[in-house]
Each structure stands twice: as structure tokens, then as C-alpha cells.
Amino acid sequence: MAALTVERKTYKGGFRMNEKEDLNKLIVSRMGGINKKIMVMSGKGGVGKTTFAVNLSFALQMNGLKTGILDADLHGPNVPKMLGLDDVTLETKDDNIVPAKIPVGLDRQLKVMSIAFLIRRDDPVIWRGPLKINALQQFLGKVEWGELDYLVIDLPPGTGDEPLSIAQLIPDIHGSVIVTTPQDVALADSRRSVNFSKKLGIKVLGIVENMSGFVCPKCGEKTDLFKMGGGEKAAKDLGVPFLGRIPIDPNIVQDSDVGKPFILSHKESDASRSIRDIIDKIKK
Ligand SMILES: Nc1ncnc2c1ncn2[C@@H]1O[C@H](COP(=O)(O)OP(=O)(O)OP(=O)(O)O)[C@@H](O)[C@H]1O
Ligand SMILES: [Mg+2]
């Protein structure tokens, strides 16, 4: 593969993108230290990808699996906020970026990388394709991920520059998890993500139906706010595994907003149980 020319750019935190380098080689060697790379994607926005990606990463690390999460949503990077990493200044070591780390249990740390660590809060990222590809190359090749069991990649909705770059830059992606909601449109939404994965030779690990039913905390009655079963039906029609459904739980919103991983702070909830079941299937 041809060597890539990387533009010189200076970011807050002192990180300097290099002059000329064969980043692709660096990416291949860096990614070689990570056993399973998982893309979390969806056909449309706001279905709970970041929520799921954050809880998946946290749960994996909690179970003793060395894990990193890459926020590849360059225009809407929400991973740091959901993990309570609001004011992080990244360090560099030998011209490499040291990812942010959050403690998980006694001696475990989840590694986190996001464009949000490199820009001023509220500054929009106004980049076209080539700059976005460049940033993702740096995130994969220049971040000291070290040896990991899992790298979870949170993507923006759709099948644009970010998922395409990630799919093309990482040589051996373990698979994609597609998050959807229970409405009938889940089929159309998921179809695009499934076809994207298939075209790029990425195994679809399965579909997650999020926001599936709401149990009233006062009377206990269950209401299917967004209908029920769209994700499961989509999985069946598209011939990919159905990983399970996660109910609506107001504590998910609360926890996301204050940067607490829901799976830890509400371990005994139905939603946490569902997330754990889904993770077990992903790990198989
Ligand atoms: N099961 C759930 N119950 C209640 N709220 C949820 C649930 N899943 C996600 N949410 C909330 O829905 C909102 C959107 O979730 P999230 O940001 O994870 O979606 P997304 O798919 O990553 O969005 P985007 O496409 O913008 O990246 C957040 O406020 C989150 O807390
Ligand atoms: Mg998101």
C-alpha cells in the first residue's frame, strides 16, 4: 500500500500530527495487538449506539478483559460525556498519544480515545472526508492502545466516511453490532448497516433492539412505546443473529447525562440484565 502523507496539525494538548509516515503499517501493527475489534453501528441516529458501546466496553473491562473504546463519531463525540471524562488533556509519549483511562474496579482501566479530547468543548468539527479519514488513521495508528482483548468502536449513524474508513483501515474487524429500535422501520434502517457490513466482508454479530418496552415505575404496567419486535423481525428477515432487546429505563438517560456507566450503577435492573445477556452472546 502506498505511504500516506499526513498533514501537520497542532491540537490542544500538544499532540502534533506527524509529517510523513507510513501510517497504514503503523495501524496494522497497532491493531495486531488487539484481539477483537467490534463496530457499533446503526441506520439512523439516536437509537442508543453510544449508550450500548459505553456499557459494552465497561462490562468487558469489568470482567477482566482488557478493553478500549474508540469514539469514531467525529461530529457528535458523546463517549467522553457518557463516561464522565469531561476535562481530559491527553498526554503524548514518543510522538504517540496516550489514551484517556478510567478506573474499572481495583487495578483495571478502560482506555478511551475521542476527538472531544482534542477540540474545545462546543467547537464543531467541520471536516470533509479526507480530514476525517486522517483523524481516524491517527486514532488507530498513533494511539497507544497496547495489548487489548477488545476495542469497541462507536460510530455515527449511517454508512458514511467514518464507518467506511474504520472498515477499510482495520484489517481484521471481528464484527459489527447493529443497534435499532422496535418500530417497523427497524428493518429498513438495519438493512443498510447489514448490507454495508456484508459488502465490506465484516461479520454481523447481530442486531440489538433498544428502547424496547417501558415498565411504569409507579404501577409496573408495561407499555410498548415504540411497538415491539422490529429488531427481531429485521434480524430474521436479514438472516443475521438477534442479540436481544433492551427496555427503556429512565436511569439510562440519567446515568448517561452524569457520566456513570448504567451497567455498574444499576446492576440489578432489567435493562442491565438484558445488556449482560447480549454481551454474553457477543463474547461467544
Ligand atoms: N434503553 C434506553 N432507555 C432509556 N434511554 C435510552 C436508552 N438507550 C439510550 N437512551 C438514551 O437515548 C439517548 C440517545 O442515546 P445515544 O446517544 O446512545 O444514541 P446514539 O445512537 O449513539 O445517537 P447518535 O446517532 O446521535 O450517535 C440518550 O439520551 C440515551 O441516554
Ligand atoms: Mg452516538
The finding on whether 73 has its CB within 6 A of some atom of ligand 1 is yes
Q: Of 9-13, 50-54, 172-176, 270-274, which range is least confident? A: 9-13
Rounded-to-integer distance, Cα 232 and Cα 103, Å: 35
More confident residue, 77 or 21: 77
Residue 42 CA, closest ligand 1 atom number = 21
Distances from the Cα of 167 to the Cα of 171, 201, 209, 264, angstroms:
8, 9, 23, 30
* Sole residue written with cell 488507530: 140
pLDDT at 21: 57
Digit-coded pLDDT (tens) for 97-150: 999 999 987 778 999 999 999 988 778 888 888 889 999 999 999 999 999 999
Percentage of the chain modeled with pLDDT above 90: 74
Closest listed ligand to the CA of 254 = 1
User: What is the mean predicted confidence (pLDDT) over 167-184?
Assistant: 95
Rounded to the nearest integer, the mean pLDDT of the chain is 89
User: What is the mean predicted confidence (pLDDT) over 144-157?
Assistant: 97
pLDDT at 226: 77
Q: What is the torsion angle, in degrees rounded to the nearest 10, for the CA atoms of residue 189, residue 190, residue 194 and residue 196?
A: 20
Q: If you ran DSSP here, which 8-state letter would residue 117 be given? A: G
The answer, yes or no, to whether residue 18 has pLDDT greater than 70, is no
User: What is the mean predicted confidence (pLDDT) over 2-30?
Assistant: 56
Closest listed ligand to the CA of 52 = 1
> Helices 161-169 and 129-141: crossing angle, nearest 10°?
40
**Most confident region among 5-19, 209-223, 261-275 by mean pLDDT:** 261-275
pLDDT at 242: 98
Domains of the chain, CATH where assigned: 4-283 (3.40.50.300)
H helix runs in the chain, sequence order: 23-32, 49-62, 79-82, 129-141, 161-169, 186-199, 230-238, 250-258, 262-265, 270-283
What is 142-182 written as a DSSP string? TB---SEEEEEEE--SSSSHHHHHHHHHSTT--EEEEEE-S
Q: Whose CA is nearest to atom 27 of ligand 1?
A: 156
Whole-structure pTM value: 0.92
The answer, yes or no, to whether residue 15 has pLDDT greater than 90, is no
Pair type for strands 4-5 and 20-21: antiparallel
> Helices 250-258 and 49-62: crossing angle, nearest 10°?
80
Rounded-to-integer distance, Cα 36 and Cα 151, Å: 6
The finding on whether 50 has its CB within 6 A of some atom of ligand 1 is yes
The finding on whether 51 has its CB within 6 A of some atom of ligand 1 is yes
Residues 6+ apart with CB under 8 A from 117: 13, 80, 85, 88, 89, 90, 100
Residues 213 and 228 sit within 8 Å (Cβ to Cβ): yes
Residues 66 and 152 sit within 8 Å (Cβ to Cβ): no
Rounded-to-integer distance, Cα 245 and Cα 260, Å: 21
The answer, yes or no, to whether residue 158 has pLDDT greater than 70, is yes
Distance (angstroms) between ligand 2 centre and the Cα of 172 equals 23
The finding on whether 96 has its CB within 6 A of some atom of ligand 1 is no
The answer, yes or no, to whether residue 75 has pLDDT greater than 70, is yes
Distances from the Cα of 141 to the Cα of 10, 35, 91, 135, angstroms:
17, 15, 16, 10
User: What is the mean predicted confidence (pLDDT) over 33-42?
Assistant: 98
The finding on whether 274 has its CB within 6 A of some atom of ligand 1 is no
Q: Of 19-33, 50-64, 152-166, which range is least confident? A: 19-33
pLDDT at 111: 97
Rounded-to-integer distance, Cα 140 and Cα 113, Å: 10
Distances from the Cα of 133 to the Cα of 166, 167, 183, 184, 270, angstroms:
8, 11, 33, 33, 39
Residue 155 CA, closest ligand 1 atom number = 27
pLDDT tier at 22, thresholds 50, 70, 90: confident
Residue 53 CA, closest ligand 1 atom number = 18
Q: Of 14-23, 96-105, 211-220, which range is least confident? A: 14-23
The answer, yes or no, to whether residue 197 has pLDDT greater than 70, is yes
Rounded-to-integer distance, Cα 275 and Cα 52, Å: 8
pLDDT at 13: 39
pLDDT at 2: 33
